[in-house]
Amino acid sequence: LIQPKRRPGIYVIHIAAEMAPVAKVGGLGDVLTGLSRSLQRKGHLVEAILPKYDCMDYSRIVNLKELDLELHSTFDGQIHKNKVWCGIVEGLPVYFIEPLHPAKFFWRGQFYSEPDDFRRFTYFCRAAMEFILQSGKRPDIIHSHDWQTAVVAPLYWDIYVPLGLDSARLAFTCHNFEYQGAENSGAIAACGLSARDLMRPDRMQDNSFHNKINLLKGGIVFSNVVTTVSPTYAQEVLRPEGGKGLHGTLGVHSKKFFGVLNGIDEEVWDPSTDVLLDYQYSAEDIDGKFINKQKLRERLGLASQGDDEKRPLVGCVTRLVPQKGVHLIRHSIYRTLEKGGQFILLGSSPVPQIQHEFEDIARQFEKHPQIRLVLKYDEALSHSIYAASDIFVIPSIFEPCGLTQMISMRYGTIPVVRRTGGLADSVFDVDDERNPEEKKNGFVFDDPNEGSLNWGLDRALDYYTQRPEWWQDLVKKAMLMDFTWDASADQYVELYKQVLSKTKV
C-alpha cells in the first residue's frame, strides 16, 4: 500500500499584532518569537502575519521585500488594495500587510491606543485571511492572539471555509483577559461578518453590555483550542474576579481551554552572550554581574563607591498600568530607600495620569544618589537593569504569566513577587517549607497591600546584606533554572496534534 505523503512537522501560521523585536509592546511580542523559534527548532514550519506598522524596528527585519501580488480585501463593503511584504525576523518568515486604505491604519506612529483600534485590527485580520487564501497556503494551524486577532476564528468559519480555505484548525491564545475588544455590535459588519448571526449569548455578544460585540469571546467560542499563558491564570479566569466577564464563556468551553506557561527565548535572554551588557557572565562565573552593576550605577548617576558599593540594587521593568500594582511599585521605591537599598525603575504608561504621577516622582529623585526613574521604553536599558540588579520587584494585582521574573532569574536577579497567575507558577519562596528545596528561587507575598509587599521585599533586602554567601548560591541556582520554551512548546505541539487528530485523517 502506498502511504499518503505527509509533512513531518506541523505547519503553523501565527496572526498577531506584536512580534519581538520588530513590533513589541509587552509579553505578547516575546511569546510570538520565542514560541515560534522553539517550534521551528523542533522541525515545524512556522510563519507569522503582522501589520506593517510605520513604527516597527525595520533594522531587525532581514531581506524585507514587497511581494509581487495584489491583495484585495473587503472592508465596509468595499474592496481595498494591500501591499504584502515578506522578511525574516529572528530566523522566522514573516508577512507584513500594508493596507492602502485612506484611514492609514498602521501609519500612526504607535502600535495601539488609537480610537479606531477595533477597525484597524478587524481590517488587518480580514486582509490576513485573504492573503492565506489567495496565496494558496494550506496551514494545519492558524494561531491567533489576544483580541486584536481573535476575529480570525469567526472569519475562518463564516467566510473562508466556504471559500475553500479549510485545511486548518484554529488555536487562540489569550495573553490577558483585561483587553477584550468590545464595540457596538454594528462595527463587526465592516470586516464582513454578520452582527445578526453573531450577537447571541453563546457567540459574540458581550456578557455584560448586551449591545456590544466582543472579539475576545469570538476567539474563545470559535477556536478549536484556547490557551492562556499559565496554569494558575487559567484557573483564576474561570472565576468571576479573574475572568473580566468571560468566566462563564470559559466555563462552557473549559474542555478545550488550557494554561501553558510561557518561556523566555534562551538566545535573546542569555547573560553569557548578551551584547547589550557591559560584561557577559554566567552561573559559573558571576563576578561579571557586579561589573554591570557598577557600570549602570555610573551611567545613571547612582552612588557606587565606598559604603554605597555594598547596597542592594532593586530593579523594576514594567508597563505602568493598574494591573502591575502601580501603588505598590511606588511604595517599593520608598521602602527600598528606607531600608538602605538603591532602586531603578524603567517603565512607561499609556495612562496619562499614571505617567504624570511617576514623572513627579522621577523629578523628586532627579539627582538622588540612590533612586533613578527612567520613564520610557528602552530595550537596551532593560537588559542592563536585569543584569545589574540584585532584586527585582513585581507586585502585580494580576499577572497572566509575566516574563520579567523569568528574565531576571536568568540574569541572577532574585524576584520579589505577589502570588498571582504565572508569578505563582514560576517563583517559589525561599522560606516556604511547602516548596521543595530545588524549586526555591525568590520571595513571594500574598496580598496587594504595602504590609504584604514589605514582608517580601524586607526579607530580600535583609538576606542580601546579612547572608552574602547564601545569596550567591541563590543567584547561581536561579540562573540555572529552566525557563526556556522547550517544554512549553512541546505542550503546544501536543494541543495542536490533539485538535488535528480529532478532525483529520
Q: What would the x/- binding string for ligand ADP be over residues 348 to 367, using CB under 6 A?
A: x-------------------
Among 403, 416, 424, 499, binds ligand ADP (CB under 6 A): 403
By the 8 A CB rule, do 119 and 103 touch?
yes
Contact positions with ligand ADP (CB under 6 A) in 305-344: 317-319
Residue closer to ligand ADP (CB basis): 231 or 248: 231
DSSP class per residue in 61-72: -EEEEE-S--EE
Q: Which is nearer to ligand ADP, 73 or 180 (CB)?
A: 180
Burial class (CB in 10 A: 0-12, 13-18, 19+), 362: middle
The CB-based long-range contact list for 465-469 (8 Å cut-off, 24+ gap) reads 465/310, 465/312, 465/340
User: Which single residue is written with the C-alpha cell 499563558?
Assistant: 229
Q: Which residue is at the shortest CB distance from ligand ADP?
A: 27
Q: Interface with ligand ADP includes 377 (CB under 6 A)?
A: yes
Closer residue to ligand ADP, CB minimum distance, 370 or 384? 384
Specify the 3-state DSSP secondary structure of 111.
Answer: coil
- Residue 33 near residue 262, CB atoms below 8 Å: no
Q: Which of 36, 159, 149 has its CA nearest to residue 91? A: 36
Parallel/antiparallel/unpaired status of strands 169-174 and 443-445: unpaired
- Between 45 and 481, CB nearer to ligand ADP: 481
First-to-last alpha carbon distance for the chain, in angstroms, is: 16
Min dist. Cβ of residue 249 to ligand ADP (A):
22
Should residue 347 be labelled a site residue for ligand ADP when binding is judged by CB under 6 A?
A: yes
Write down the least CB distance from residue 86 to ligand ADP, Å.
26
User: Least distance (Å) from ligand ADP to the CB of residue 377?
Assistant: 4
- Is residue 16 packed enough to be buried (19+ CB in 10 Å), middle (13-18) or exposed (0-12)? buried
Q: How far is the CB of 392 from ligand ADP (least distance, A)?
A: 10
- The candidate with the shortest Cα–Cα distance to 151, out of 87, 215, 206, 103, is 215
Our CB check for ligand ADP shows the closer of 82 and 318 to be 318
* C-beta closer to ligand ADP: residue 177 or 281: 177
Is 382 an interacting residue with respect to ligand ADP (CB under 6 A)? Answer: yes
346 near ligand ADP, rule: CB under 6 A: yes
- Alpha-carbon Rg for the chain, nearest whole angstrom, is 23
CA distance linking residue 411 with residue 315, whole number of Å: 12
Span interacting with ligand ADP, options 45-53, 345-353, 444-452, 484-492, rule CB under 6 A:
345-353
Give the 3-state secondary structure of 423-454. Answer: HHHHCCECCCCCCCHHHCCEEEECCCCHHHHH
Verify binding: residue 402, ligand ADP, rule CB under 6 A. Answer: yes
> Cβ of residue 503: shortest distance to ligand ADP, in angstroms?
32
Cβ closest to ligand ADP, residue 151 vs residue 423 = 423
Q: How far is the CB of 384 from ligand ADP (least distance, A)?
A: 11
Among 54, 379, 431, 447, indicate the residue that binds ligand ADP (CB under 6 A): 379
Q: Name the residue with cell 494554561.
A: 259
- Residues 104, 349, 414, 481, Cα dihedral to 10°: -20
CA dihedral 276, 484, 424, 400 (to 10 degrees): 80
Number of residues that bind ligand ADP (CB under 6 A): 17
Least distance (Å) between residue 31 CB and ligand ADP: 8
Binding positions for ligand ADP, 41-70, rule CB under 6 A: none
Give the residue with the Cβ less far from ligand ADP, 207 or 404: 404
DSSP 161-195: TTTT--S-EEEEEES-TT---EEEGGGGGGGT--H
Applying CB under 6 A, among 36, 185, 404, 420 the residue interacting with ligand ADP is: 404
| Smallest separation, CB 405 to ligand ADP (Å) | 8
**Minimum CB separation from ligand ADP for residue 252, in Å?**
27
| Closest separation in Å from C-beta 172 to ligand ADP | 17
Residues near ligand ADP (CB under 6 A) are 26-27, 30, 317-319, 346-348, 377-379, 382, 401-404
